[in-house]
Amino acid sequence: MEIDRPEPGTRAAPEAAPHRAYRYVGPPDVRDAARGAPPGTPVTSAAELSAWLGRQPDAAGPFTYTVGTDGVLRLADRRSEHVACAGGGPVLGAGEVGFAAVDGGGHRAVEVSNLSTGYCPDTACWPAVAAALERAGAGHPGGLTQAVVFRRCTGCGEVSVVREGFFVCVFCESDLPARWNVAPPVA
Ligand SMILES: [Zn+2]
């Protein structure tokens, strides 16, 4: 998938904007263990979302979610690995999502993060996540409620999380890059 995103702060129509795809970057043994696990449930309508949430012990969540390169939201139990939820493939977004019922029917995503150490997606994944939620008939908060800033340290190669705007590797104290760089683009 080609990367041609607008600069941060600008807005493009979600339908028109190509979304970056993220490959799995987590531990190989986690991916291997996920091979036999069922993928997340695809949800492409409000009816499917309500049905899926109705089968969960706690419909509020949070749940594991991924957005496939097909743009489809997939939901799984929170204990599920993102790589299992995604069926092993690349994603346009991944994280955790919590829902609330809406008066008059339907659901709204009230908490949405990009917290996935398997995919470490950029916070710029939001438009793809929003589009998938909209396709699933769910309202959303208009942005990530928990935005995790992942960067790969060019000093030691480890993936670090930037905390409180402090772009320094927690492993070796090298400066971290300003732009997302965790993995090469998905071809
Ligand atoms: Zn480092």
Per-residue pLDDT tens for 22-61? 999 999 999 999 998 899 999 999 999 999 999 999 999 9
Q: How far is the CA of 80 from the centre of ligand 1 (A)?
A: 29
Which has more confidence, 17 or 92? Answer: 92
pLDDT at position 134 is 98
Helices assigned H by DSSP within the chain? 28-34, 46-54, 82-85, 126-135
Q: Which amino acid is at 101?
A: A
Q: What number is the average pLDDT over the span 144-170?
A: 96
Whether the predicted pLDDT of 10 surpasses 50: no
Whether residue 1 lies inside any domain: the answer is no
- Together in a domain, 55 and 98: yes
Q: What number is the average pLDDT over the span 64-88?
A: 97
- Together in a domain, 127 and 187: no
Q: How far is the CA of 176 from the centre of ligand 1 (A)?
A: 8
Q: How far is the CA of 25 from the centre of ligand 1 (A)?
A: 16
Whether residue 67 lies inside any domain: the answer is yes
- Together in a domain, 182 and 134: no
pLDDT at position 153 is 97
Q: How far is the CA of 175 from the centre of ligand 1 (A)?
A: 8
Contact criterion met (CB below 8 Å) for 80 and 46: no
- Together in a domain, 82 and 143: yes
Half-sphere exposure (CA, 13 Å, Cβ side) for 171?
Answer: 12
- Together in a domain, 140 and 152: no
Whether residue 49 lies inside any domain: the answer is yes
DSSP secondary structure letter of residue 174:
P
- Together in a domain, 126 and 43: yes
pLDDT at position 12 is 46
- Together in a domain, 58 and 131: yes
Measured between alpha carbons, how far is residue 59 from residues 53, 62, 100, 157, 177 in Å? Answer: 5, 8, 8, 39, 38
Q: How far is the CA of 152 from the centre of ligand 1 (A)?
A: 8
Buried b (16+ CB within 10 A) or exposed e, 30-40: ebeebeeeebb
Count of structural domains within the chain: 2
Average pLDDT, the chain: 91
